Structure 1
Amino acid sequence: MLLNNWFLLVLLSFASFRLTRLIVYDKITKFLRAPFIEELEVPEEDGSLVTYTKIKGSGLQKWIGELLSCYWCTGVWMTAFLLLLYYWAPKLAEPLVFLLAIAGIAAVIETVVSKLLDE
């Protein structure tokens, strides 16, 4: 069972983290969000760009847009997807979970290193 295996819990946690960020924020998946969310880049006074999201449409399109614009909401669904895939097709899920978990851990390490170097 999942709760008895701490290693699996940690792997699925990092995998869920990375998959959620991939869907909600990464440029490579912008095409998935495009039918539901318009991303507006607005210049700030200091010259930096801030991205705002505008939900498109109504009904199901709006619901999916709201889901994709919410990191926490998407995270629940991505976690459910990974758990179901792991239980129903473990041979398919295992390499995906490992890949996403390693990428998630690398992202956390990169963030920590970047913060330390900025200080």
Structure 2
Amino acid sequence: MVINGLTIVLLSLAVFRLARLLVFDTIMAPLRSLFHEEKEEKDADGNIETYIVIKGTGVRAFIGELLSCYWCTGVWCAGFLILCQAVIPQAAQWLILLLAIAGLAGIIETLVSKWLQE
């Protein structure tokens, strides 16, 4: 694998998208629910606070902690994509490209939405 600027940008965008997919996106909620649950409570000011309760022990708790932490998940996603690039480079290139395009599209959508709200 050749590491150059384009590779870093593509991997960064791919990791960004994959981590967000796992930690935040609704489509992955059923997977996350196996490892943690979200609880809501009102604070003293009446604001609703959402917090995560990790389920189980051992590996299940580890995965629950991982899926509750965007930064932690990002590190593991980076490792996964780099490993894929090393082991199955042809398939990994397409996966990384797909995730990178989706990640960039998400960033653009967020920026445009904020721009239109102003």
Tell me the TM-score normalized by structure 2: 0.87
Alignment partner, residue 89 of structure 1: 88
Q: Could you tell me which amino acid in structure 2 is paired with residue 79 of structure 1?
A: A
RMSD: 1.9
Q: Which amino acid aligns with 1:10?
A: V
Aligned length: 116
Describe the superposition over 1:3-37 as per-residue Cα deviations: whole angstroms up to 9, x where unpaired.
Answer: 3x111110111000000000011111112111111
Question: Measured at CA, do residues 42 and 118 of structure 1 come closer, stay the same or move farther in structure 2, by a change above 3 Å?
Answer: farther
Q: Structure 1 residues 108, 96: CA separation in 2 closer, same or farther (over 3 Å shift)?
A: same
- Aligned twin of 2:22: 23
Change in 2 beyond 3 A, CA 1:42/1:114: farther
- Structure 2: tracts of 5 or more residues without a match: none
Within 1, Cα distance between the matches of 2:36 and 2:88?
Answer: 32
Rounded to whole Å, the distance in 1 between the matches of 2:50 and 2:23 is: 13
5+ residue gaps, structure 1: none
Cα shift readout 1:33-73 (whole Å, capped 9, x = no counterpart):
11111023557958xx7643221122222221111100000
Q: Corresponding residue for 1:57?
A: 56
- How do residues 1-119 of structure 1 correspond to structure 2 at under 5 angstroms? 1-3=1-3, 5-41=4-40, 51-119=50-118
TM value normalised by structure 1: 0.87
Question: Aligned residues: percent identity?
Answer: 53
Following TM superposition, by how much is the alpha carbon of 1:2 offset from its aligned partner in structure 2, in angstroms? 4.2
Change (3 A) 1:75 1:42: same
Q: Is the 8 A contact 1:2 1:9 kept in 2?
A: no
